Structures are given as C-alpha cells and as structure tokens.
Chains A and B, each alone.
Chain A
Amino acid sequence: MELTTVWFCLVAFLFIGYFVLEGFDFGVGMLLPFLGRDDRERRTMINTIGPLWDGNEVWLIVAGASIFAAFPEWYATLFSGFYLPLLLILVALIVRGVAFEYRHQREDAAWKQRWDAAIIFGSFVPALLWGVAFGNIVRGVEIDADKNYVGSFFDLLNPYALLAGAVTLTLFLTHGANFLALKTRGVIHERAREASLKVGLVAAVLAVAFLLWTCLDHDDVWVWVLSGLAALAFVGGLAAAWARRDGWAFVGTMAAIGLAVTALFVALFPDVMPSTLDPAYSLTVENAASTPKTLGIMSWVAVVFVPIVIGYQAWSYWVFRKRISVESIAADVPVEHTPA
C-alpha cells in the first residue's frame, strides 16, 4: 500500500476513534437538561464521563495534527476554509472543558446553572457542526486553482451538510444515552434507556436518508456495504436497548458510528477535499501529501505508539468500569472542608 493511503486510513481511524469516543460524551452533555432533573442527578451524569472526556478529546487533537503532518495542503485548506464553523467549535470546546472542572467548585445554584448551560451548548454545537463539516468535505466545496476555499460561510450550510449535522447530532444523542444506560443504576438508567429508544428512531430515519444520499452520489459498492452494515448495527443497538442489553446497545451505536464514518472516508478516497468548481482543483491523497520521508517516519511513530495509547486508555476505561448512581455522589462536595 502507498504511504499516502496508509495515512489516509490512519487519519480516518483517528476520526473514527474521536467520534466513537467523544460522540458519547457529547451525548451525555446534550442529555444533561433532559435526564438530570436536579443537581445530584446531573452530577451523576457528568461523573460517568468525568475521567474520560479529556482523553477522548485528545483524539481530535491528534487527528488534526496528523492531517497537518501527513496532508499539509488538506489541513491548510480545511482549517482556513471552514473558519467560522471551526471558531464556533473551538468556543464550544473551551467553555465545555472548563465547565466540567469548574462546575463543582462552588455550591451555588446560579453558578452551577451557568456551567450546565456551557456543557449543554458546548456539546450540542460540535455534535452538529462536525457533521456539517464532514458532510461538506465529502460533498465537495468551492476550491480554486490555488487550493483555497472561495465559498462563503453560508455555502457550507447546504442541505446535504445540514442533514449530516442532524445525523451526527442524533447519533451522538443515542450513543450518549446508551452510554448512560450502561454506566448508571436507578432513575438515570431508566430515563437513558427510554431516551435511547426515542431519539434512536429519529436518528435511524435521518441516518438512512443521509447514507442513501451518499451512496447514490458515490456509486461504490463498498460505500453501499458499509452504509448497510452501519444501519444494521444501529438497528441492532436499538433492539438491544429495547431488550435491556445495555452493553450490546452501546456496542451497536459504537459500531454504527464507526462504520458510517468509514463509509464517508471510503466515499471520499482518493480525494481528501473535492472541488465543486473543477475536479482538477480537488485535493487528493497525492497532491495534498507530505513527502514519503515524513510519512515513513510518522508511520513508525504511529505503529509503535498508537497501540500503547489504546492500551492505557482501555485500562483507564477498565478502572472506571463500575456503574454509578445518585447514591455514588455524596450530597455535599466531599473531602474539602474549611478548617476552623
């Protein structure tokens, strides 16, 4: 396999990892106002992702940096072209990240409400906009001969991309609900399961419409196969949620997201950012790539360290494997007391 293909696959892998992992913590954040009726319930929800969300977000950082290292032209065109959506995503990720750490620092209802709003906003915005961004990448945007995006912000809000955004939003909601059902006991568990079934049906309809559109646009047998498998996995996940098999329900949405993102990357290949102005202007794995030397060195680094990272991240998931409930949260902020 060409090194450029290897790196295309690696970038795809990193984004799959990002969406599969941060997808559920976005989901938990978005469900906060709907499933958590009081502070203790909300804290229970937040604590299911407390030790994990930051490690999940690093998948995005590494995916972004890998595009920079392996396909500098792609990185330059994408980030300068999708400027305003990325700015919004950054603002969302900033307030959300700070909110997790700062929310519990004060016993003050208004304070907590404000940070809840930050978590909710910070989870909804990227869950929607990552779909819009990827929809546009796959659909193609106006790229000129100098490889610069020349469309406007509103050109990015086309029907296909907006549908993609609705799909990621609802998929992540379902995925988050399945995660909560898997990780909690008691009221949150019950409500999460219900939410998974309700939102899951909407997500299924939207996702099938979007994947069908993608399949018809890119008549490729693998896109059909992967999209079909994604749909099957998702329906399987819903069935498992209905049958109260929390683990399998979560595996189902995980597989569905992974397969759907794979289908998108397969539809994209060998382009990385097609141009709608002229196919000759499209960025491809060839004309956007770094030198074979850089790709070769980076491949070795990836071969050695990606398995190590997956190993210790899996271990941290194992350490925090226990279900929690509102009883796991001490009524007061624990341990910290003001000395007399």
Chain B
Amino acid sequence: MEALELARWQFGITTVYHFFFVPITIGLSFLVAGLELAWVRTRDEKWLRLTKFFGKLFLINFAMGIVTGIVQEFQFGMNWSDYSRFVGDIFGAPLAVEGLLAFFLESTFLGLWIFGWDKLSPALHNACMWIAAIGTALSAYFILAANSFMQNPVGYTFNAERGRAELESFTDVLTNKVVLITLPHTLFGAFMVAGGLMAAVSMWWLIRRKPVDADAFRSTLRLGAVTLLVAGLGTVVTGDIQGKVMTEVQPMKMAAAEALYETQQPAPFSILTVGSLDGDKPFYQLEVPHLLSYLATGTWNGEVQGINNLQAEYEETYGPGNYKPYIPVTYWSFRLMITCGALAMAIGAWMLWVTRKGRVPRSEWRWPIWLAVASTLLPLFANSFGWIFTEMGRQPWIVFGLMRTEAGVSPNVGAGTVLTSLIVFTLLYGALAVVEVKLLLSAIKKGLPDVDPDNETGKQPEDKPMAFAY
C-alpha cells in the first residue's frame, strides 16, 4: 500500500476510535452534572451515590477520550502536511480556539471536580461539572466548524500565488450552514449514546436475581431511556434537515448514500439492495416510492440527481477524474446508521414502557440483558456509521471542490513510516480498549458506593485523608 492509503486508514481507525469516547463524554458529563444537581437540591443520598457511580464510569471513559484526542491534533501535520498548508489559514483557527476555550475548561474543572469533593461547597463542586460539560459542547462546535469547512468550504478566497485557501470571513466559517445543522445532530447523537449507556447499566442492576438499590437505578433507567428517546427524536429531525443541506451542498454524497446512479423524479428510497452497487441492475431491491425525493428536497416529487449525471457535471467543472465516493461504504453506512439509531430508540421506548407508573422490571427476566447491551452499543455504532458515511461520502475530496485527498498527504513521509505509526496506534488502541471495557464492567459490577455526606462539606479537616485520591 502507498503512504496515501495507509494515512487514510490511520485517520479512519484513530478517528472512529476516538469517537467512541467523545459522545459518551459529551452526553454523560451533562447527565452526571444533572444527577449531582439533584443531590445538591434534594440532599437525598441516592443522588450523591448515583453521581459518584456514573461519575466514575465517566472518568474511565474520559481518560481515553483525552489521550486519543491529542493524536488527532498531531495527525494533520504528521500525515497531511500539504493539507495543513492549504487550509491552515482557515482550519487552524477553530482548532486553536477549541483548545483555548474548551479543553482548558474541561481539564481544569474536571480536575477540580475529581479532587474537590472535600474542598469545594456542594454547589460550587456541581458548577465545576456543568462548566466541564459546557466545555465538551463548545469543543464539539469548534471542531465541527472545522470539519464543515471540509464538507462545504465557505468564507475563503483562493490565493493562487501561495496556492492556499485564505480566510475571507470567520463569521461565515463559524455559521456555515453545515455546522449549524451538524452540531445539533452530533450532540443529539451523543445524548443517545450516554442515555443508552445509563439506562443499560441501570437495567442490569434491576434485573439481577437480588436487585440492589432498585429505587435509585429505576430513576436512572428512566432518565437514561428518556434521554435516549428524546435525543433520538432530535437526531431524526436534525438528520432530516441535514439531508436537505447535504443535497444542496454535496449532491454527490446524497446520491452515493442511495446508490442512485441516474437522476430521478420522483426518487424512491432504497431500503436494501441485494447485488452489486456499481450501477448495474441489482438482483433485488426494496424501495419506498417518493421517499428519497422528500428526504432530499422536502417535496414528494422533487428531482434527485444521480451519480452518473453528477460525475459528468463535475468532469466539466473540475476536469477529468473520478468524482464518485466508494458507493458500497456510503450506501451501507448510511443504512446502518439509521437502523442502529431506530432500534436504539425502540429499546428506549420499551424501557419506558416496562417502568411506567412506578413499575420495576421483573428480576427473573434474563433476556433484557441483551437489550441493555444493545442500547449501549447501537447508538455508539450509529455515531460511527454516521461519521464513516459523511467522511467517505466526501471523497475523493479532502476539501470539497478545492483539494483532492491525494493532494493533501505529506509528500516527505514514506509508506514505511506511516505503516509503523498505523501498527503502533492500532495495537496500542486495541490493548487499551480491552483494559477500558474491563474496567468499566468491574466499576459497573461494584454498584453504588457508600457515601459520607459529611465529606462533602467543602471543608477538609486537617487530619482527615483526602476524600478522593488516585
């Protein structure tokens, strides 16, 4: 393989991996802050114990999120130096602002939260988690603004002499129509993951042979399930709008999502295809008439452009070349995203149903454990498939219409070097994944900790050990 393919694999692997931890961090930071707020307001110990329990899961996950995030920032320069030269004037600014506004908030206030139980008053301690949570959401906004420039470059001029894109309007970059819709879609996606995780963990504790802390876990089961369901509806609504924006700014991506080769009016939505997706007549295809027209244009009879027509159009604009993304990946990742998300919502609805009007799930049930596992993994994979779709659907461009992916790779970094780092990261990440999952499971199995509310006064007596220590 060439350095280009290896660099792409490395970016894909490290980014998909990093994004397992990101949605959990974003969603769970708000949920844990909410649990702690309930403790501060009601002084019911149940909430304090839940805060510490889910806070621990949050921190085990957060550690992985930070360390895999550093790789992301270095990687642009290491593997994609010509891309960095080309877009640095625009792309670097949101990254720097992200660090300055968001990462400092997250790291400093989480440090205060982790170690501050006996040093800060309960309200101030809780405020630290809210601030860290806001930091995670801010971070999402700036990094998505940078990514949205790659999908739909705005607010730039091309400087032919320097051979690079230069900033024309930072406001335009920050209010790119793609980021404005991608941000809520991503945040809702993150809440689905965190809600699903919280509900799953609670469900596991409720259906044990001897349920412990049933009242507390019923509360978080409901909280998690409601979060999963409401956020799920949010992803549906924002995803629908996003589809229309995508049709407008990246019509090829929409066509690639559907493997729609010829322009059609009205266009049907393909649910699944048996056979090749290379434009030949498929063996079997299940379709819903008119639906794609609605998803893409908002009208039931709208015209949707096909891959072949767009290919011809792009050849005229950009010169000869292949402007099609790899269709099997875009087609199936788009479907898997939707399927995973929809199934997760169904599980969320079922969880609310079995806990309606004070009911507690019956403890002799064994099979719901698999639904609980699914409610954690399905939203997580929906996030992954969504990103794989949107990034693979952008190909062959690294910045849509401006720079092709192969032009962005570092010219002075050989395939052997990239292969080395690809192997190192893959092995290291694989090993850490095993450790992380084991730690999460053992923390879940430990259950709610005993607490001593006297420790949370904000005043540490001289002779007492630290309330929390590494």
Contact = CB atoms under 8 A, between A and B. Distances in A.
Interface of A: 43, 46-47, 50-52, 54-55, 57-58, 60-62, 64-66, 68-73, 75-81, 83-84, 86-87, 90-91, 93-95, 97-98, 100-106, 146-150, 290-291, 293-294, 297-298, 301-302, 305-306, 309, 312-313, 316, 319-320, 322, 324, 327-330, 334-339
Interface in B94-118: 95-101, 103-105, 107-112, 114-116
A76 B80 CA distance: 8
Nearest to B60: A101
A71 B120 CA distance: 41
Given A94-B68, A316-B111, A335 B470 contact: no
A97 B108 contact: no
Given A291-B166, A337-B450, A319 B112 contact: yes
A46 B375 CA distance: 37
B88 interface: yes
B298 interface: no
Given A75-B88, A76-B88, A290-B92, A148 B70 contact: no
A261 B164 CA distance: 32
A102 B66 CA distance: 13
Tell me whether chain A's interface is mostly helix, strand or loop, or mixed: helix
Contacts of B82: 76
A297 B68 CA distance: 29
Nearest to B62: A101
B21 to A, nearest CB: 11
A123 B339 CA distance: 44
Main DSSP-derived SS at the B contact region: helix
Contacts of A87: 78, 420-421, 424
Contacts of B420: 84, 87
Contacts, number: 260
Interface in B103-139: 103-105, 107-112, 114-116, 119-120
Contacts of A294: 89-90, 92-93, 166-167, 170
24 contacts: A43-B469, A46-B470, A57-B70, A58-B104, A61-B103, A62-B104, A68-B77, A69-B96, A72-B87, A72-B164, A73-B85, A76-B84, A76-B88, A79-B81, A84-B420, A98-B67, A100-B63, A102-B60, A105-B60, A106-B442, A146-B411, A148-B81, A294-B93, A335-B468
Interface in B56-86: 56, 59-60, 62-64, 66-71, 73-74, 76-79, 81-82, 84-85
A313 B104 contact: yes
A305 B100 contact: yes
A101 B65 CA distance: 12
B321 interface: no
B84 A75 contact: yes
Nearest to B431: A95
B222 to A, nearest CB: 21
Contacts of A64: 73-74
A58 B103 contact: yes
Interface in B194-243: 212-213
A148 B116 CA distance: 47
